[in-house]
């Protein structure tokens, strides 16, 4: 936990005093004795993750090809290509198994 000096706004350090711990400033003579337990928790709000593949709607109008599913060995899979890296790198091919009860996804 960072605590700042109310006089000069520098970060206070924790040092051991004569009777207790205390916050002290390195640049000015400010000292604050710690007489009780100090705790402060702040949980950051997590950002929502976007589906980079466009969600379920992205697979609506895609073509299929002869690609064997690694999970169920079905011989056909839907595919789409997306540029996931810089422009000089090749496109990434994403596959989805055509078998309705499998629906396994993988990339090449």
| 55: pLDDT strictly greater than 80 | no
| 34: pLDDT strictly greater than 70 | yes
Q: What Cα–Cα distance (Å) separates residue 75 from each residue in 68, 70, 91, 98, 104? A: 4, 10, 23, 8, 13
Partnered with residue 100 across adjacent β-strands are: none
| 59: pLDDT strictly greater than 70 | yes
Please tell me the predicted confidence (pLDDT) of residue 52.
63
Whether the model pTM is above 0.95: no
Please tell me the predicted confidence (pLDDT) of residue 26.
92
Question: Which pLDDT band, with edges at 50, 70 and 90, does 74 fall under?
Answer: very high
Contacts 24+ apart (CB under 8 A), 11-17: none
CA distance linking residue 21 with residue 2, whole number of Å:
15
Sheet strands (E) in the chain: 13-16, 21-24, 31-33, 63-65, 77-82, 92-97, 105-107
């Amino acid at each position: 936990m960072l605590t700042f000096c109310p006089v000069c706004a520098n970060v206070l350090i924790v040092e051991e005093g004569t009777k207790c711990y205390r916050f002290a400033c390195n640049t000015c003579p400010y000292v604050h004795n710690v007489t009780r337990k100090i705790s402060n928790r702040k949980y950051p709000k997590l950002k929502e993750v976007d589906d980079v593949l466009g969600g379920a709607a992205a697979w609506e109008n895609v073509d299929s090809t002869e690609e064997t599913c690694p999970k169920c060995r079905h011989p056909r899979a839907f595919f789409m290509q997306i540029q996931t890296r810089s422009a000089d790198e090749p496109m990434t091919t994403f596959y989805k198994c055509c078998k309705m009860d499998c629906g396994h996804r993988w990339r090449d």
